[in-house]
Amino acid sequence: MEAKADAGALMAAPALRQSASPRPLTRILANRSVRAALGLTAFFGLWQVLSSVGVIDDFLLPSPVAVARALWDLAVDGSLWIHLGASLQRVAVGFVLACIAGLALGLVCGWWRTISDYVRPVVEALRPIPPLAWIPITILWFGLGDAASYFLVFLGAFFPAFVATYTAVRSLDRNQMNAALCLGAKPWQLFWDVLIPASLPIILPGLRIALGVGWMCVVTAELIAAQTGLGYLIQQSRMLFQINNVVAGMVTIGLVGFAMSAILERVERKVNAWAPSERN
């Protein structure tokens, strides 16, 4: 009887393993990229259905098919790439300048409390002012052109970069620093081998937020203080009642912003692969 029971258990084991293995659909849905694609598809599909049945006025908000057609036309005649390139150039320059200033000042203020006591009140007083409020004085300072856009992107991206860096340095476990000093670490080793790696899990998400804010600021600046860019495209299309192009520009802004955030998030996961929160 025991032999028959053992034989039955052996025959049932493969069936149990097969039933416990994940189904193909479950494995597919476990992929984050697939879930993101499904979410976007559902959003645009619902938008198209509501437009088709007349719930959404096509003039006020064109359907995804009409927007896709407008995007295609803008891409074919080259205007989309000209405006997109101008916007990307402005946000890249402003973001790089903001990262340099925000990271440097955040590290200094986080490491030296005395300097922080002088600098942080100024930063915290300027931080609540929205970049949109700076546009009039920015035009007076820099006129209409790239310099004004660089400055507004810098303003938008600087504060998240500074706050993230300052918080990372102030939150550093002092036991790590003391352990490195006990092992004979020199000041530059303390900075590069302890301070920077331990701060990256907080700094990199802050830079991702800074890039998103900078991208919004450059589009806002182009609505008023530029002659090219996606914001300028939207403004000109609005004045000509080309609503399809207006929404096409908005969709481009959203997709490009999503792509930039996804790229930075992937870089963040690679750099912070050792961090427990990045293993999931």
Domains belonging to the chain, first-starting first, are 64-273 (1.10.3720.10)
Query: Is residue 274 helix, strand or coil?
Result: coil
Round to whole Å and give the CA distance between 173 and 195.
Answer: 10
Round to whole Å and give the CA distance between 163 and 127.
Answer: 10
Q: What's phi and psi for 176, nearest 5 deg?
A: -65, -45
Determine the pLDDT at residue 274.
58
- Judge contact between 223 and 235, C-beta under 8 A: yes
Round to whole Å and give the CA distance between 83 and 89.
Answer: 10
Q: Could you tell me the sign of the dihedral formed by the alpha carbons of 75, 245, 265, 222, in that order?
A: positive
Determine the pLDDT at residue 44.
85
Determine the pLDDT at residue 173.
67
What CA dihedral angle connects 191, 194, 200 and 201, to 10 degrees?
-150
Point out the residues of the chain with pLDDT beneath 70: 1-25, 27-31, 173-194, 272-280
- Residue 182, classified by CB atoms within 10 Å of its CB into exposed (0-12), middle (13-18) or buried (19+), is exposed
Residue among 141, 153, 137 nearest 99 (CA): 153
Instruction: Report the interhelical angle of 196-224 vs 79-111 (nearest 10°).
Output: 140
Q: What DSSP string runs through 157-172?
A: HHHHHHHHHHHHHHTS
- Quote the radius of gyration of the chain (alpha carbons, Å): 26
Round to whole Å and give the CA distance between 8 and 193.
Answer: 59
Determine the pLDDT at residue 93.
93
Q: What's phi and psi for 177, nearest 5 deg?
A: -65, -45
Determine the pLDDT at residue 279.
47
Determine the pLDDT at residue 141.
87
